[in-house]
Homo-oligomer: A and B are copies of this chain.
Amino acid sequence: MVDEEAEPNETTNAENVVFIGKKPIMNYVVACITSFNRGEKQVVVKARGRAISRAVDTVELLRRAFVKDLEIKHIDISTEELFRAEGQKSNVSTIEITAIKAGTKKPQEEK
């Protein structure tokens, strides 16, 4: 249950993966928006340890304020084993939120 927020790459690993670290949430929201603007149909938001709450915050803010037609496609939780410098093993929880932009729907939803 040790909270490791080692932030492997902080923002983007693959094209459409946003890794949540300790920066302001808006940074990650912008990273998601950028990803969608680049033409990605889905974005995967990943976090571990205490950053998990911030991953949920990111996706919720994105959905509420910026991408109205955002849909949560899948949420996966898991555990990663970390080996610390002292040789100790510790487990850290992880989350992966896959969000898709349902922008390809019929335009009848305007009002």
8 Å CB contacts to B: which residues of A45-84? 49-53, 56-57, 59-61, 64, 72, 75-79
Docked-complex contact B1 and A61, CB < 8 angstroms: yes
Contacts A1-B25, A25-B1 hold; do A78 and B60 have CB atoms under 8 A apart? yes
> Chain B contacts of A50 at CB under 8 A?
50, 53
Residue from B56, B72, B93 in contact with A93 in the complex, judged by beta carbons closer than 8 Å: B56
Of the listed residues A1, A25, A56, A78, the one surrounded by the most CB atoms of chain B closer than 10 A to its CB is A56
CA of A52 to CA of B49 in the docked complex: distance in angstroms?
Answer: 10
Instruction: Tell me the A residues contacting B by CB distance below 8 Å.
Output: 1, 3, 25, 49-53, 56-57, 59-61, 64, 72, 75-79, 91, 93-95, 97
